[in-house]
Amino acid sequence: MTEEEIHDAIRKLREFATVQEMQWVLDEVDEAIALGVPETRTLRQTTNRQGLTTYEDITEPDALPLLERRRGRRTGRSSDFIRRRPMTPQEQAQLLVQAFNRVLADIDAVAAGSLEALDPTTLSDYIDPDSETSFPIPQVGSISFVPDEGSTAPAISIDVIRASQRRAEVASILSEIDAEIDS
Amino acid sequence: MTRIDDLITALTRTVGDRTVSYNSASAAWDVYEGYAFGLVIRAAVAAGGNVWYEDRFGNAATNLVFRTSPGMLYSVRQPYTHAVIDFRECPLLEAHVGVRVQGKSGVPRGTERGGLAAMSGHRSWTADRKARLADPQVARRAAEARAELDRHEQDYERTLTQLRNARRLTQTQLANMLGVSQAQVSRIENQADLYLSTLRSYIQAMGGELQLHAVFPDGQATAITVNELLEPDHAEPRNPDRAQEDDIHTAFALVHLDVGFYNAAEEEFNAASAA
């Protein structure tokens, strides 16, 4: 994909997120993009006669001219620094796809797992068969989260067993988009 | 129409009928809390507990309602639900999601991010416990469970504070035994580096004996007698003929921490013992 095509894909993915009321995902992705990608670089510190300190990147010494490498070995004042570089457009697009996968596939899987964990059939596997006092575990119909006094958080409800086939389909489409961006 | 357009159209069609609206980061966290609740229930059942669900008013519930963000346990705005767990020999336990808990400091803290509070809830824990322990059979089972727990506790590494709590001692009680202030006991418990003599006094005040073990890279371990480290002048004179294996280990560990030397010396000792 050319850089222009990637920018176009990012715009379309963001539009999709807005329609799906996932502005909060875009906000978190934007925050991550603003932070950049952390990487370790080896910098050589030199101070000139005027007291001005400069840092020279010698992370890949082979890329330096031979004379430079020798000078670096002689002065020897280098340290590892963690710095953040801006994300490339491709990385930004892939981060968006990854975030959508978390929200649309992974969280659904967790939601389904919540109800499965409370399912009496599942739980009965954990009951000691010799136990005389255990009685039937009640079936859970739904799990919902509703705001309490003073809370403005929106209510959510996990009221149906999530369709695993749909989760797989979403994950598959997102994987294809990721591959397309990578091409 | 590009390939990306096609894929986004397919994605929109697939997720179009989503019934869970995760429209904030906190909503996603709520889902994880629900999952953690399920794990607690599973663990309770596996441990032999009977589980049922109740709402805030004590009515049986099958549709679970939790708080989106930590709230007070006594809130009646919604029929919030919790699990009741009965282990028979213990007071009834309740598992809540998203309630504020308040310790002795009086500062309420949320149990968000998958946090759960297991507490006696609406009942008086002490009264409930007393009533149950009035039954001699329950009291005997509780004592056995406590003894079993104490045995297991000995197998775990723990901090000085946990050790003291396991002995059912307060900082003030321990301070009285040591003849120091409560603040000093607090300092000892939170100090990163301790004198061996201070540590020994602390352990002795609880009725214990401080033992040290040296563990070598090849997996060999040996005990070091703390008294010898602290009071070499008062140590009992050694008599090689009566030396116990532990004493030999100790001597070697103190004199020479070289593993090769230690192994050779131990082999000699074992050969001599066999002879």
Rounded to the nearest 10°, the torsion over CA B20, B21, B24, B27 is: -30
CA distance B239 to chain A (A): 57
Closest-CA distance, B13 to chain A, in angstroms, reads: 10
Q: Enumerate residues 6+ apart whose C-beta is below 8 A from B47.
A: B87
Nearest CB neighbour to B7, from listed A123, A135, A180:
A180
Given a contact cutoff of 8 angstroms between Cβ atoms, the answer to whether A41 and A81 are in contact is: yes
Determine the pLDDT at residue B147: 73
d(CA A44, CA A53): 10
Measure the CA–CA gap between A113 and A143, rounded to whole angstroms: 12
Residues sharing a CB contact under 8 Å with residue B104, sequence separation 6 or more, in sequence order: none
Within an 8 Å CB–CB cutoff, is residue A128 touching chain B?
yes
Counting as low any pLDDT under 70, the low residues of chain B are: 1, 17-23, 101-132, 146, 148-158, 192, 217-221, 225-275
| Closest in B23, B70, B98 to A154, CB measured | B23
Q: Is A86 on the interface with B (CB under 8 A)?
A: no
Q: Looking at residue A29, what is its pLDDT?
A: 92
Confidence of residue A14 (pLDDT cuts 50, 70, 90): very high
Residue A39 near chain B (CB below 8 Å): no
Q: State mean pLDDT over A32-61.
A: 79
Q: pTM of the prediction?
A: 0.52
Least confident of A61-70, A80-89, B232-241, B264-273: B232-241
C-beta atoms of A9 and B21 within 8 A: no
Amino acid at A181: I
Is B170 in the A-facing interface, judged by CB distances under 8 Å?
Answer: no
Q: In this predicted model, which residue has the larger pLDDT, A53 or B231? A: A53
Looking at residue A136, what is its pLDDT?
A: 79
Contact at 8 Å (CB) between B24 and A107? no
Residues in chain B with CB shorter than 8 Å from the CB of A165 are none
Long-range own/partner contacts, residues B26-30 (CB < 8 A, 24 or more apart): B26/A153, B26/B68, B26/B69, B27/A145, B27/A153, B27/A154, B27/A156, B27/B68, B28/A103, B28/A107, B29/B112, B29/B113, B29/B114, B30/A145, B30/A156, B30/B66, B30/B68, B30/B98
**How does the average pLDDT of chain A come out, rounded?**
79
Question: Is B229 or A166 the better-scoring residue by pLDDT?
Answer: A166
- Whether residue A140 and residue B53 make contact (CB cut-off 8 A), yes or no, is yes
| Residue predicted with more confidence, A66 or B175 | B175
Residue A82, classed as helix, strand or coil, is strand
Q: Span A171-176, mean pLDDT?
A: 92
